[in-house]
Amino acid sequence: SITGACRAIQKLTRVRVVDNSALGNTPYHRPPKCIHVYNKTGVGKVGDKILLAIKGEKKKALIVGHKMPGPTMTPRFDSNNVVLIEDNGNPTGTRIKTPIPYSLRQKGEFSKVLAIARNFV
């Protein structure tokens, strides 16, 4: 059906880890998958927290970009990008390799994730 393609990030969506954490960068035969979205709708947009299944472990992550076109003047990415975070919101890695949207900076949350980002779009 067409509704599956129109959603952003939901359960069983494959994602790409864009920070330099050890868990996200070592190769594995299965890509990380979203197994839960922490909001009411069950569809994750930029700035939402999700739960990942990555290398047989469960880890929390923050969505920093998705393929689905968003509102006007928000960037659309080539892949569904996430940054691994700990339970208290601190990022696991020390650098983010891809540009992240400027709309995350306007929300004001996740200041430590914004501090390790190099580029904004």
What the block records as the tokens of 40 is 């009411």
How many angstroms separate the first and last alpha carbons of the chain?
32
Q: Which amino acid is at 31?
A: P
The radius of gyration of the chain from alpha carbons, rounded to an integer in Å, stands at 13
Mean pLDDT of 1-5: 48
Read off the pLDDT band of 5 (50, 70, 90).
Answer: low
CA proximity to 54, closest of 27, 77, 81: 27
CATH value at residue 12: 2.40.150.20
pLDDT at 19: 95
pTM here? 0.90
Residue 19 located in a structural domain = yes
The model's pLDDT over 15-38, given as tens digits with 9 standing for 90+, comes to 999 999 999 888 899 999 999 999
Kindly list the strands in the beta sheet with 57-65, ordered across the sheet, starting from the edge strand earlier in the chain: 16-17, 81-85, 57-65, 49-54, 33-37
Domain span at residue 59? 3-115
The model's pLDDT over 49-94, given as tens digits with 9 standing for 90+, comes to 999 999 999 999 999 999 988 878 888 999 999 999 999 989 999 9
Three-class SS state of 5: helix
Q: How many domains are contained in the chain?
A: 1
Could you give the CA distance from residue 77 to residue 40 in angstroms, rounded to a whole number?
24
CA atoms within 13 A on the CB side of 62: 23
Residue 21 located in a structural domain = yes
Residue 121: pLDDT over 60: yes
pLDDT at 69: 86
CA atoms within 13 A on the CB side of 4: 4
Read off the pLDDT band of 44 (50, 70, 90).
Answer: very high
Residue 48 located in a structural domain = yes
